[in-house]
Each structure stands twice: as structure tokens, then as C-alpha cells.
A and B are shown apart, each in its own frame.
Chain A
């Protein structure tokens, strides 16, 4: 069964600190892995997209890694800001990208 699992479920950090979110997946055939940021009441916004051959990709203070052998990905947020408070969703694409399997998300709260 295609599945995407994220951890932790929720996280609270102080402004300026770093954090790392985890994503494990069992999806076949694998096409790519995406990390989305979703603010409350808003649609998901794409942060990074990585294909099988990519190990890391950065978008500003966000850095995603992918280990296709162990089927694990992480999203590292550097020097967190209050505006980083959101749900971060790991999404794995199967079937040449047409079908997306979403994780449950990690709820991140950045406190001043």
C-alpha cells in the first residue's frame, strides 16, 4: 500500500532555532518527492521537488534531502522565523507524477 508517514506530528521551537522534519514513504513506482508548506486556511505551497537522482535541494532557508534507498526524506529549516509557523506536508508522486500521496503533515509552531 502506498503510504507516506511524517514525524513529528507537531513541533514547537523558538524563533531563530533550526529544526528538521522527517518523512518516510512506501510508494511505488516512485516519481518524485515534494515538500509543501500550508498556512492555516490556505492551500499548500510547494517548497521543493526532488526526483530519484537528487539527494538535496534548497529553497532559501529550507533544505530538503532525499535518500531513495532508505525511502526517507527530511526538511531542514534554518534560523526559523515566526512566519514559518505552518503545516509542512511531504508528498510523494507515483505513476509519473499523476498521483500524489500526501503525508499527514507536521504542525510547526515558531514562538518568539
Chain B
């Protein structure tokens, strides 16, 4: 079956612009997670959802970052007024159910470059 998909795969934007990154989880997966990964670093947790409810957003760097999952499926991570330090790989993962032991399946990521 299809895995986690993300779009766009690459995004280049000018500083100050808003960007929206999309994640389409595996069908039927309840939990959806967003991570940010700088070059040469491990992924950094941003936020996660169970169904449409945002459970934990403590990893979001500041209030320019927001995420939503209005229908409990597709999620959008929005970065407003982008800054160069926002440049990174943004990865989405989903798991069948939020039980901790469930495997998280990662998408290919969106490479964001802010000029």
C-alpha cells in the first residue's frame, strides 16, 4: 500500500514569505507526527496529532509555526514569515495508533530552503 507522502518535496522561498507543507499519512493511521531535521543532525520533534486533535505542540520553535489536521487525515505545517534559520528537512510520520510501541512510518520529507 502507499506510504506516507509529503509535498512539495522541495521548496525554495524568500525570507518573509509564508509556506505550507503537506503530509498525507498512511490510510487509517490515527497518529501523525511532524519533525524537523537540520543537515547532519537527528530529527527534532515538532508536534503530533491523534485524529484531528493536536496533542503536543511543545516542539514548535515559536509562534510562526503552526500545524493542523482538520479532518484527522492530511496535515499541514505552516511557517509564517519564514527566516533563513527555518531552512531544514521537514519530515512527517504516521503510526496506526498512539500507543508508543507502534512503529512510526516516515515520509520522504520536504526540503525547505529560505533565501
Contacts and interface: CB of A to CB of B under 8 A. Distances in A.
Interface of A: 31-32, 42-46, 49, 51, 87, 89, 91, 93, 95-105
B25 to A, nearest CB: 13
B42 A89 contact: yes
A64 to B, nearest CB: 14
A105 B48 CA distance: 22
Contacts, number: 59
Interface-central residue, B31, B55, B106, by most chain A CB under 10 Å: B106
Interface SS of A by simple majority: strand
Interface string B15-59: 000000000000000010101000001111100100000011011
B41 A46 contact: no
A32 B56 CA distance: 17
A97 B102 CA distance: 9
Contact of A105 (B42, B45, B93, B107): B42
Interface residues of B, number: 26
Contact of A44 (B41, B43, B58): B43
A98 B56 contact: yes
Contact of A46 (B33, B44, B45, B103): B103
A22 B52 CA distance: 37
Contact of A101 (B45, B100, B109): B45
Given A43-B91, A45-B106, A99-B58, A32 B100 contact: yes
B11 interface: no
